[in-house]
Structure 1
Amino acid sequence: MSEQTPQAGDSATADREARGLRLVAVLLGLTVVSGMIDAVSYLGLGHVFTANMTGNVVVLGFAAAGAPGFSVPHTATSLAFFLAGALTGGRVAVRHGGGSRRTWARVTLAAEAVLVGASAAVAFAAPGATATVYALIALTAFAMGLRNATVRKLGVPDLTTTVLTMTLTGLASDSRAGGGSGRRSPRRTAAVAAMALGALLGAWLVVHRDLGTPLLIAAVAAGVLALVTSGRE
Structure 2
Amino acid sequence: MTTAPTAQPPAPDPETRGVPLVIVLLILTVVSGLIDAVSYLGLGRVFTANMTGNVVVLGFAAAGAPGFSVPHTATSLGCFLLGAATGGRLAARVGKGSRRRWTRLTLIGEALLVAVSAAVAFAWPHATGTVYALIALTGYAMGLRNATVRKLGIADLTTTVLTMTLTGLASESRFGDGTGHRSPRRTASAVAMFAGACLGAWLVLHHGLGVPLLIAAVASAVLAVVASSRE
Cα deviation, 1:50-79, whole Å, max 9, x if unaligned, reads 000000000000001111110000000000
1:180: Cα distance to partner? Answer: 2.5
Unaligned 5+ segments in structure 2 are 1-9
Instruction: Show the 5 A alignment for 1:80-159.
Output: 80-159=78-157
Contact kept, 8 Å, 2:76 with 2:136, in 1: the verdict is yes
C-alpha distance in 2 between matches for 1:45 and 1:70: 10
Contact kept, 8 Å, 2:173 with 2:180, in 1: the verdict is yes
Q: What residue in structure 1 maps to residue 226 of structure 2?
A: 228
1:125: Cα distance to partner? Answer: 0.5
Q: Which amino acid aligns with 1:72?
A: V
1:135: Cα distance to partner? Answer: 0.2
How many residue pairs end up in the alignment? 223
C-alpha distance in 1 between matches for 2:177 and 2:160: 27
Instruction: Show the 5 A alignment for 1:144-223.
Output: 144-223=142-221
Instruction: Show the 5 A alignment for 1:5-24.
Output: 15-24=13-22
Cα deviation, 1:32-58, whole Å, max 9, x if unaligned, reads 000000000000000000000000000
CA RMSD of aligned residues (A): 1.2
Runs of 4+ residues deviating >6 angstroms: none
1:181: Cα distance to partner? Answer: 2.0
Task: Tell me the TM-score normalised to structure 2 length.
Answer: 0.95
Q: Compare CA radii of gyration and give the structure with the larger one.
A: 2
Q: What residue in structure 2 maps to residue 69 of structure 1?
A: 67
Q: What residue in structure 1 maps to residue 3 of structure 2?
A: none
Q: Which amino acid aligns with 1:120?
A: A
Q: What residue in structure 1 maps to residue 51 of structure 2?
A: 53
C-alpha distance in 2 between matches for 1:130 and 1:35: 25
Cα deviation, 1:133-174, whole Å, max 9, x if unaligned, reads 000000000000000000000000000000000000000011
C-alpha distance in 2 between matches for 1:224 and 1:30: 11
Task: Indicate the percent of aligned positions where both proteins have the same amino acid.
Answer: 76
Contact kept, 8 Å, 2:168 with 2:180, in 1: the verdict is no
Q: Which amino acid aligns with 1:210?
A: G
Task: Tell me the TM-score normalised to structure 1 length.
Answer: 0.94
Unaligned 5+ segments in structure 1 are 1-10
C-alpha distance in 1 between matches for 2:174 and 2:65: 42
1:176: Cα distance to partner? Answer: 2.1
Cα deviation, 1:203-223, whole Å, max 9, x if unaligned, reads 000001110000000000000
C-alpha distance in 2 between matches for 1:174 and 1:228: 33
C-alpha distance in 1 between matches for 2:72 and 2:177: 43
C-alpha distance in 1 between matches for 2:128 and 2:53: 23
1:27: Cα distance to partner? Answer: 0.0
C-alpha distance in 1 between matches for 2:152 and 2:32: 18
Q: Which amino acid aligns with 1:47?
A: R
